[in-house]
Amino acid sequence: MSMDRKIEKKKWPLSRIISYSAAGLFVLVIGYLLIFNTGGATLNVQAERITIAKIENGPFQEYIPIIGNVRPLTQIFLNAVEGGRVETIYTEAGTMVNKGDKILKLSNTNLLMTLLNNEAQINRASNDLRTTRLQLEQNKLSLDRDKNEVDYALKRAKDRFERNEVLYKDGLISKQEYEDFKNEYEYSTRKKTLSYEAMETDLKFREQQVKDLELSVKRMEENLTLVREQYENLTIRAPISGQLTSLNVEPGQFKNPGDSLGQIDVIHGYKVRADVDEHYITRVEVGKVGQFDLAGKTFMMSIIKVFPEVKNGTFQVDLGFGGKEPEGIKRGQTIHIRLQLSEQAQALLLPRGGFFQTTGGNWVFVLDSSGKKAVKRNIRLGRQNPQFFEVLEGLQPGEEVITSSYEDYTNMDTLVIK
């Protein structure tokens, strides 16, 4: 009788042991990384994809780049003082003019009629004044004649009274006759007083008439002078000698008061007008210095005028040349200026780069001593210019920083450089 022997199946085959061992090892590795790796999120980057710069001490000067346009030092804009239609154009744009030269003439019918009416009125008023003055002189002569007659009548009455007063005292005439002569004398005396008062009143009245007419004529003359000036303003003349660089008129075109007509430039001397970002409006003032390069040379300029009005986020400044103007500089030429906002001083410098757009200058990746790993570090920056940032905290001279864009590294704490 044969007996069968039961063979037991092995519980842990070699393949299972290997699988479980690999899984256990993976768990141990992950646990080790989680427990002992303090570097946070790590990313491998290629060295050729990043830019590295060294932190150094050096001279720092805060400046901003601005773009200016060369203009004549003196520019005069021609505007219509009085409205009118373009009647005559005496010269063309681009020509040289002398002070007082006629440039163009406007016509204004209403102003011409006002001028003619005022001239007619002042002629009538002047004639009235002459007539009144003549009447005053004639009246003075008449008053003098009347005064003589009154004085003569009074003198005769006085003489008769005095003679008859003596006769009355001697008893040669009656009392009635004496009283008649006395009354006649007293009447002549009162008549003289009243006549003189009436004459003086009439004279003062006529003199006042003359004064009123003189004042009226004077006002008319002043008004006429103003109207004549207005009429003269229809002829546009060059206020200075220079080049008529523009003339914005056409024959028959109507111009309102204040409309632009053209521009005259004095071509002896130039300045530069530039736009500056409104962010710097409190720091830009007269006297600030700028530099620009031209034909291989560096030239200095300084601000001579600041226009505080802000338009489209910028304000304007005028800069003058500190010394001799560069040879060959021309009106309308564009100049790139480095406008200084501070004096030069020693500082810890971080070269500018794309990192700033992501971090705002609050942190950077700093390489370790091996140069193979860069770790995120908080920093504080100060002033800046188009080349450097001023480092206030967080970095030391000699350290190296990744300055290229951090767009792909925002959530990383460590970069491993391959």
Cβ count within 10 A of residue 68: 24
Closest CA to 92 of 246, 204, 239: 246
Tokens 């003019």, residue?
Answer: 97
Instruction: Determine whether 339 is exposed, middle or buried from the number of CB atoms within 10 Å of its CB (0-12, 13-18, 19+).
Output: buried
Cα 129 from Cα 215, distance rounded (Å): 10
How many whole angstroms separate alpha carbon 115 and alpha carbon 58?
Answer: 75
Alpha helices by DSSP H, 70-174: 109-169
CATH superfamily of 64-97+250-340: Efflux pump adaptor protein, beta barrel domain (2.40.30.170)
Measured CA to CA, the distance from residue 143 to residue 129 in angstroms comes to: 21
**Fold classified for 38-61+345-417:** 2.40.420
SS3 of residue 404 by DSSP: coil
* Beta strands 42-45; 414-417: pairing state: parallel
For 4, the 3-state DSSP assignment is: coil
pLDDT of the chain along its 418 residues, tens only? Answer: 444 454 454 455 666 666 666 666 665 545 444 444 444 688 899 988 899 999 999 998 888 999 999 988 888 999 999 999 999 999 999 899 999 999 999 999 999 999 999 889 989 988 888 888 888 888 888 888 888 888 888 899 899 888 888 888 888 888 898 888 889 988 888 988 888 888 888 888 888 888 888 898 899 899 999 999 999 999 999 999 998 989 999 999 999 999 999 999 887 788 999 999 999 999 899 999 998 988 888 888 999 999 999 999 999 999 998 767 888 788 889 999 999 888 888 999 999 999 999 999 999 999 998 889 999 999 999 988 888 999 999 999 999 999 999 988 888 999 998 8
pTM above 0.75, yes or no: no
Q: Where are the domains of the chain?
A: 38-61+345-417, 64-97+250-340, 110-232
Q: Is 225 helix (H, G, I), strand (E, B) or coil?
A: helix
